[in-house]
Amino acid sequence: MKIEIDHEPVPQLRPRATRIGNSIRLYDPKKVSLYKTFVKYAGKQQYKGDLLTSPLSVEIIFYRPIPKSESKKRKLLMESKEILPIVKPDIDNYTKAVLDALNDVVWKDDSQIVELVAKKYYSEKPRTEIYFSEVE
């Protein structure tokens, strides 16, 4: 099964905190919160099955935008995956945002994921592709 998110990937950032009286409230930064909402919405639109509760295998491919400042030659190499994005943000931060957003949409909880492959590439069309299947 596949879900495609037609939006530039956004990494999970450290939560922000506010103090209300004696309690502290943690929340996602606005950019992360909006991205998770977008991923959740896309998941609901594209996945019409029952909520998965079994062990899962997930592959996520992140396509980052190609920097505008790159030469045409380098842009072609980036698009053909000959130059890979070895820059921040880290791939695990991208992954965390997507997996959390799809809780209670595709799977009950991301703790069900027992196999995970994550990749990041450059593309003229930034997006995220999520492939998932139940593990027998």
Task: Dump pLDDT digits (tens) for 98-132.
Answer: 999 999 999 999 999 999 999 999 999 999 999 99
pLDDT given for residue 18 in this prediction: 83
Which two three-digit tokens encode residue 44? 């609901």
pLDDT given for residue 114 in this prediction: 98
Residue 4 to residue 115: CA distance in whole angstroms: 19
Please, are residues 5 and 131 in contact by the beta-carbon 8 Å criterion? no
Q: Which of 12, 17, 35, 5 is nearest to 92 (CA)?
A: 12
Q: Can you give the residue range of the structural domain that contains 58?
A: 2-134
Per-residue pLDDT, averaged over 25-44, amounts to 90
Q: CATH number for the domain including 67?
A: 3.30.1330.70
How many domains, the chain? 1
Could you tell me the pTM of the whole model? 0.91
pLDDT given for residue 54 in this prediction: 97
Number of Cβ within a 10 Å radius of residue 93: 16
Is 90 exceeded by the pLDDT of residue 71? yes
